[in-house]
Amino acid sequence: MPRRKQSPQVPAPSVATLESRSARTATRGVALFCHGGTVANLEPPRERALSLVRMRAIEQYVHDTCADRGIGTYVVRYRVAGWNGAAADAYADVRWSLDRIREEHGPDVPVVLVGHSMGGRAALRAGGDPQVGAVCALAPWTPPGEPVAHLRGRTVAILHGRGDRWVPAALSADFAVRAQRAGARVARFTIAGGHTMLRRAPLWHAFARDVVLAGTGIEPMRPDVEDALRLPAPEGLAVPL
């Protein structure tokens, strides 16, 4: 994960914030988008940070294509930009966001977590929440030893750039194997390009949309993902896209 140069500290907000867009029909499901960050940083995320800009673009696409089908979308803005060791600040903010979504929509509306980089790590950590129907992890930062037992019985779809130099694809490959062994339903795909998801961006966007629609029960899982979910390691955990 990249380390951001430290600037004079700005006080972090006491709670995270949620940017939301409502479904255009009765809400049938919710997608929560979790942006990336840094290893250690106690400052609030910058408004124009690339990780936040990219996640907003994916959220916009999913809302534009799914709101008429009952999908509401949220982007969590973390209190601080870093994971910060045992504090796991991004994970704490995703859990806080899930509580707020429950308050608004009730406990029965399915939620799909879509996370990139550090946000992918936070989404995977929160994937055991009973309201989460699936986790879509985009180039997730999953260090060795990242917990997997809580994902037993859960659906996890991972997409990672083969040329990623910030978060090597080998990290999510190891995570996928361990999660599958722990009883998770895991499909992992690789794609040409790096960490920013800019190369072949439409494929990243469509992948997130399709996992959201399936994880909320609105559509069946798309065939290539469903096929990968059925395959044992390593066949279903390194599928080129």
Single out the residue of 31, 167, 18 nearest to residue 93, CA to CA.
18
Nearest to 223 by CA among 232, 214, 233: 214
133-169 residue pLDDT tens: 999 999 999 999 999 999 999 999 999 999 999 999 9
Please give the structure tokens belonging to residue 208: 């997130």
Mean residue pLDDT of the chain comes to 94
Within-domain flag for 12: no
Instruction: Decide if pLDDT at 5 tops 60.
Output: no
Residues contacting residue 55 through CB under 8 Å, at least 6 positions apart = 33, 34, 35, 36, 75, 114, 116, 119
Tell me whether residue 205 is in a domain: yes
Percent of the chain with pLDDT over 90: 90
Residue 213: pLDDT band (50, 70, 90) is very high
**Is residue 8 predicted with pLDDT exceeding 80?**
no
Indicate whether 154 belongs to any domain.
Answer: yes
Taking CA 203 as the corner, what is the angle to CA 121 and CA 31, rounded to the nearest 5 degrees? 50
Residue 196 phi, psi dihedral angles, 5° rounding: -80, -10
For 97-108, the pLDDT digits (tens) are 999 999 999 999
Q: Is residue 1 domain-resident?
A: no
pLDDT of 2 over the 60 cut: no
At 28-76, the pLDDT tens digits run 999 999 999 999 999 999 998 999 999 999 999 999 999 999 999 999 9
- In this predicted structure, the answer to whether residue 124 has a pLDDT above a threshold of 90 is yes
Is 9 inside a domain boundary? no
Given a cut of 50, whether residue 174 has pLDDT beyond it is: yes
10: in domain: no
Query: Does the structure show a pLDDT above 90 at 176?
Result: yes
For residue 9, pLDDT over 90 is answered with no
Question: How many structural domains are present in the chain?
Answer: 1
pLDDT at residue 233, rounded to an integer: 83
Structural domain of residue 123, as residue ranges? 23-240
In a domain, 119, yes or no: yes
Decide if 17 is inside a domain.
Answer: no
Q: Is a pLDDT exceeding 90 seen at residue 6?
A: no
Q: Write the CATH number for 127.
A: 3.40.50.1820
For residue 7, pLDDT over 70 is answered with no
